[in-house]
Amino acid sequence: MAGSKGKQKTVRDMILSLALIGVAAAVIYIFVPHDDHAPDIKRVDYSVELAGARRAASYPVVAPQGLPASWKATSVRYQAEDSDRWHLGFQTPDGQYVQVEQSAGKRADVIDTASQGGSATRHTERIDGRTWTRYTGGRYDALVLEGTPGSTTVVAGTGSLAQLTDMATALRIK
């Protein structure tokens, strides 16, 4: 029977230790602040990059005009060495992502990269007097501008078709 008391004490100590660890974990959980919402993404000013891209690119570079202030520009870049690639990314008012991609590179590659694997549908949209083809099935849905020899323009992202259309409508060449 002497051996049995030692085992009972060991089991009791283990249970007490687990309870103490549980209490400590609960205290840490309660008092350590949690941030359950997405981080605030910094707004970027793309005017300098846009001016440089418009001077350097081999095609007319587009950018939105007249979007509500609730659309936040979050990323911008122009890469002359990468087929004159222009990129402008936005966070929509509801937290989705919409980007404008332009390039003088191979059309199929530009569309595949911008839509991340999308395929053309049979649907076209007439937006602000221009024809855009809808792409789906990739990571992003996309609208691809037709009739632009020498470059490809894609509006793509996680935003709704209405948001992609809003961006396409706002695009201007200055």
pLDDT, averaged across the chain: 91
Q: What Cα–Cα distance (Å) separates residue 76 from each residue in 9, 72, 84, 92, 159?
A: 66, 12, 13, 15, 18
Q: Are the C-beta atoms of 50 and 61 separated by less than 8 Å?
A: yes
* Secondary structure class of 166 (helix, strand, coil): helix
Listed residue (89, 101, 103) closest to 46, CA to CA: 89
How many other C-beta atoms are found inside a 10 Å radius of the C-beta of residue 36? 4
Q: What is the tens place of the pLDDT at every residue in 88-131?
A: 999 999 999 999 999 999 999 999 999 999 999 999 999 999 99
Q: How far, in Å, CA of 58 to CA of 42, rounded?
A: 30
Residue 41: the pLDDT is 83
Q: Are the C-beta atoms of 53 and 61 separated by less than 8 Å?
A: yes
Q: What is the tens place of the pLDDT at every residue in 60-85?
A: 999 999 999 999 999 999 999 978 99
Side-chain half-sphere of 91: how many Cα atoms within 13 Å? Answer: 14
In the block, which residue shows the tokens 């919402």?
37
Q: Which amino acid is at 80?
A: A
